[in-house]
Amino acid sequence: MRTRTPRTIITGTLTTGAAVTAAAAVLALAGPATAAAPTSIKAEYWGVSCVTALAGGDTLFLTGSGTTDGAEGGVSAFIETIDGGYDEGTSTSWEFGDTFAATVPIGAHTFTIGADAATGERTTQPVHERDGNRWTRGTTTFADLLLTGVSATYDGRSVELGEGACNGDITAFDLRTTNPTAYVTADRDFGSDICDVEGLPDGQVRLSGRLPDVLVEVVLDHGETAEKAVGELRLVGRRGTVGADVVDLGSGEATTTAHVDLALRRSGPAQRVVESADGFTERRTVTPFLATVDVVLADGRSGMATCAAIAVSTQLRVKPGR
C-alpha cells in the first residue's frame, strides 16, 4: 500500500468463475422448465496421516483416505531426506475397517504400517446452506479415528512411531442439494483507489466492501516503520463514521486512535452490461463514486483524501445442464 500510483481495486470484466464463487445477495428467477431431482450425497469417509523419523535423519510422511465401506480409497507416502532429497510412492495394497494397514513402495524402498482402528465420539452438525437459488440441507458428522497398536516397517526393519505420530478422522455426509431450472446468483462489490491523505505525512487510504458496509484502511508508511488503522462502517445516506486504533505494525502496539469520516457521491452515470455465452448470462452494473475521507488522529495529526471508487453489482444466470 506504499506505492504512490493509484490502483483500482476492481478492474475489467468480472469473470464467470468469480461471479459464481462470490454468491452473496441472491435473486431467484423461476424458469419454464422442470427442475431436476435433488442431488443426494450419503457417504462416510476416513482419513489418516502419519509423520515419523527414519534412521539416518530422513522423515516419512503418509496420508490415506477413502470411503469406510472400502469401495474407494488409497494411501500415499513420501520421504524427505536429510540432505534435501525427495521420493514418493502410492500403496500397492491397503485395508480399512477394524484395522488400518498399507504397503507403500517408495523408490527402491518399502514402508508398511498396521494399526487397530476405532471410531471416537461422533458430533453431528446440521447443514442449511444457500448458494444462489440452490439449497443444500442435511447433516455432517465428524469423529476422531482412534489408531492403537501401531506398528511399521521400512525395508523390513521395525520403525518406532511415537505417540501422536498418526491421527485420523471419520466424516459422514447426508446431504440433499436442489437443482433448480436455472442457477442464479448475485454479488455486490465496492472498492476504491489507494489514495494519498493530504496533510497526513506518509498517509494513504483504501476503501473496500459491499455497500452499505465499507472497510476503511489507513496506512502511515514512514519507511522503516509503519502504522495502520482498520475499521468498518455502515453508510447512512452515503455517509458514515468509524473509530479505530492506530497500530504500529512492527510492535503490534496501539500508538493512538483514528476518527474517520466518509462521504460518497455519484461521479457519473451507471453503466450496464449484459453478456451471454454457452448458457451463461451475466448482467453487470458499474456505478462510479467519488469518496471524501477525513482522517483525524487523537495525537493531533489529520488529513483528507479524495478517492475514485466504483460499486459493481453482478447477476449470473446459468441454464440447466451447464
Q: Which of 302, 296, 303 is nearest to 197 (CA)?
A: 303
| Residue 32: pLDDT over 70 | no
Confidence of residue 33 (pLDDT cuts 50, 70, 90): low
| Residue 109: pLDDT over 60 | yes
Q: Which of 307, 311, 205 is nearest to 260 (CA)?
A: 205
pLDDT digits (tens, 9 = 90+) for 263-277: 999 999 999 999 988
| Residue 14: pLDDT over 60 | no
What is the reported pLDDT for 318?
A: 84
Residues 172-201: what's their mean pLDDT? 91
Q: Which helix (H) or strand (E) holds 19?
A: helix 16-21
Asked whether the beta carbons of 305 and 270 are under 8 A apart, the reply is no
**pTM of the model as a whole:** 0.55
CA angle (9, 14, 17) in 5-degree steps: 120
What is the reported pLDDT for 320?
A: 66
Confidence of residue 29 (pLDDT cuts 50, 70, 90): very low
Q: Which of 270, 277, 271 is nearest to 316 (CA)?
A: 277
What is the reported pLDDT for 299?
A: 94
pLDDT digits (tens, 9 = 90+) for 286-321: 999 999 999 999 999 999 999 999 999 998 988 766
CA angle (146, 152, 157) in 5-degree steps: 165
Confidence of residue 322 (pLDDT cuts 50, 70, 90): low
pLDDT digits (tens, 9 = 90+) for 205-244: 999 999 999 999 999 998 888 999 999 999 999 999 999 9
- Cα–Cα distance, 230 to 242 (Å, whole number): 9
pLDDT digits (tens, 9 = 90+) for 127-175: 998 888 889 999 999 999 999 999 999 999 999 888 889 999 999 999 9
- Rg (C-alpha) for the chain, rounded Å, is 28
Domain ranges of the chain: 16-31+184-318, 36-179
What is the reported pLDDT for 182?
A: 81
CB atoms within 10 A of CB 219: 20
What is the reported pLDDT for 2?
A: 43
- Cα–Cα distance, 155 to 124 (Å, whole number): 42
pLDDT digits (tens, 9 = 90+) for 65-103: 999 998 899 999 999 988 888 999 999 999 999 999 999
What is the reported pLDDT for 34?
A: 64
Q: Which of 77, 56, 62 is nearest to 157 (CA)?
A: 56
